[in-house]
Amino acid sequence: MRYSRKVIVGFIVLLAVLMSPRLVFGDDDLVRVTPQIAVEQAQAFFDDVSDEPVTACDPVKMVNSDGESIGYIVRAKRDDVNYGYVVFDSERSWWISEYCLAPNAPMPIENTSDEIALLASQDDIVALKFDELSFGIADLDNNVVLDEKGCRSTAVFSVGNSRSGSPGRFEDVFVLPKDLYKQGYVIDASKTISGMITPTQSEVIKETGTYACDVSAMFAVSSHYVTLNRLKLPDLYHELWQLSGTSGDPNKSFDQATGLYFTQGRTPSPNAAPAIKEFCARRGKRLETSFAWYPSWDSFRATADSGNLSIFSGTLRSSHDAHAMAVAGYVAMHNTYSNDKKYMLVVWDGWFNQLRFLPYDTTIYISHEGTYCGE
């Protein structure tokens, strides 16, 4: 058997680049390894290490026991006869965890039990890696997971379901794009609108001595439509505070990030729409604003598609924590393993100076509301 370290190392570096997940924000494409790419790279590998002409085929997606996508198992054939395989595993530093080239050699998921071999012969199955030497399979459509002995697995398999129960704080609701990628989600549709001034909670507390999430969301949304001087944040924030009828808690709150005491504000949700309208009108911009109780995800999508911003607010069922966020767009995704759908809002949460993914799961809220702007 011929082995060229230079070629193999070059190939592995190329594969590492290809398998690095990269979400293109605001685009409809997710850069990821496809079955076709896996076959092409397997063919390059076989061409280098095999003295016999073999053909790469039959790629099988591989995930770990957490449901994270980690690679592929690709078969080798010679003259239409099984001739081995290669396992691409992103959890290994060299990306190739094992390979075999020999007449009639089965893939790892085929050489353990008759039940696994039977299930593995079907379409839409996923190879499930338990450890370095143990592989099972999963048929997600029929909710069947078999270990290496063909027994139903007790492993926690979380593809398409990264959270369970009702979250007690909003920080537990947000999801990371890289985690969705690892679970096999790809983007079907998305839109993100730029052009907001987004002072963080710490900045607002330092400069105004107050903070209200609704007021911060109103400020961010308004800054998209009218020119605001960031240096005048205290005056502008106070103006929106007054216009929206925000009331301050008489007892000061302490902010650990800044080490300062501040006045925590509370805003009636329906008040944001008329406050934004009046605030922008004073600066020569006519806006149409509206408010809705228990809005659908489609209402936020339609607003973003028209080039406008909105505000989502909700109260968590388990803790009664309430929060309001400026909505800059949306993302619709599906899982390539289970076909599970996810619908998310792209939001600025007011705490950090970045956009985040908020899954639109209304079952976790006691109530949720929407404020919409239109030109």
CATH number for 182:
3.90.70
Q: Which residues of 257-293 are buried (b: 16+ CB within 10 A; e: fewer)?
A: eeeeebbbbebebebbbbbbbebbeeeeeebebbbbe
Are 29 and 139 in the same domain? yes
Are 135 and 210 in the same domain? no
Are 179 and 259 in the same domain? yes
pLDDT at 131: 64
Are 191 and 131 in the same domain? no
- Reading the block at residue 205, the tokens are 């507390």
Quick check: is 154 in a domain?
no
Quick check: is 157 in a domain?
no
Are 130 and 19 in the same domain? yes
Quick check: is 158 in a domain?
no
pLDDT at 327: 98
What range defines the domain where residue 69 resides?
5-146
Of 56, 59, 44, nearest in space to 82 by CA: 56
**Residue range 189-225, pLDDT digits in tens:** 999 999 999 999 999 999 999 999 999 999 999 999 9
Quick check: is 320 in a domain?
yes
pTM of the model as a whole? 0.59
226-234 long-range contacts, CB within 8 A, separation 24+ = 226/279, 226/280, 226/283, 226/284, 226/285, 227/283, 228/197, 230/197, 230/199, 233/199, 233/203, 233/204, 233/207, 233/208, 234/207, 234/208
Are 127 and 228 in the same domain? no
Are 188 and 254 in the same domain? yes
Quick check: is 210 in a domain?
yes
Quick check: is 153 in a domain?
no
User: What is the Cα Rg of the chain in Å?
Assistant: 26
Are 48 and 191 in the same domain? no
**Number of domains the chain is built from:** 2
Domain boundary among 146, 178, 203: 146
Are 311 and 190 in the same domain? yes
pLDDT at 105: 85
pLDDT at 12: 43
Quick check: is 164 in a domain?
no
Are 98 and 60 in the same domain? yes
Quick check: is 368 in a domain?
yes
Instruction: Say what the alpha-carbon torsion angle 95, 175, 221, 168 is, to the nearest 10 degrees.
Output: -160
Using a 10 angstrom Cβ sphere, with 0-12 exposed, 13-18 middle and 19 or more buried, the burial of residue 154 is: exposed
By the 8 A CB rule, do 67 and 82 touch?
no
Are 115 and 180 in the same domain? no
End-to-end CA distance of the chain: 69
Domain boundary among 131, 146, 161: 146
Averaged over successive runs of 10 residues, the pLDDT of the chain (375 residues) comes to 37 42 34 73 87 89 73 90 87 73 83 52 66 66 58 45 54 87 88 93 96 97 96 97 96 91 95 98 97 96 97 92 96 89 95 91 92 96
Rounded to an integer, what distance in angstroms lies between the CA atom of residue 252 and that of residue 291? 30
Are 344 and 198 in the same domain? yes
pLDDT at 190: 95
